[in-house]
Amino acid sequence: MENTIEVSAQKDLVGRLELLQAEHRELDAKIIKLGQQAYLSADDQLELAGLKKLKLKKKDEIFLLKEQLGVEP
C-alpha cells in the first residue's frame, strides 16, 4: 500500500512538473513576443516585468520539483 502511495505521489509530482514546464515555455514565448516590439508603453513594460517575475517563480518551482524527484536540474 505504501509503495502505491509513493508511486501515486511521484506521478502527481511528475504531472505538476510537466505543467510547470509548459507554463514556463508559454511565459517565455510571451516575453519574447513582447520584447520584439519596437516600442513598449509603460503598461507593456509593467506586463513584461510581471511576466519575467512569474517565469522566474516557475523556474524555481521546477527546480524544487526536480530536486524532490531526484532529477538532474
Query: pLDDT of 10-51, one tens digit each?
Result: 899 999 999 999 999 999 999 999 999 999 999 999 999 999
Grid cell digits, residue 35 = 520584447
pLDDT of residue 70: 87
- For residues 27 and 44, is the Cβ–Cβ distance under 8 A? no
Residue 23's domain spans which residues?
A: 2-69
pLDDT of residue 22: 98
Q: What's at 24, amino acid-wise? A: H
Query: Into how many domains does the chain fold?
Result: 1
pLDDT of residue 34: 95
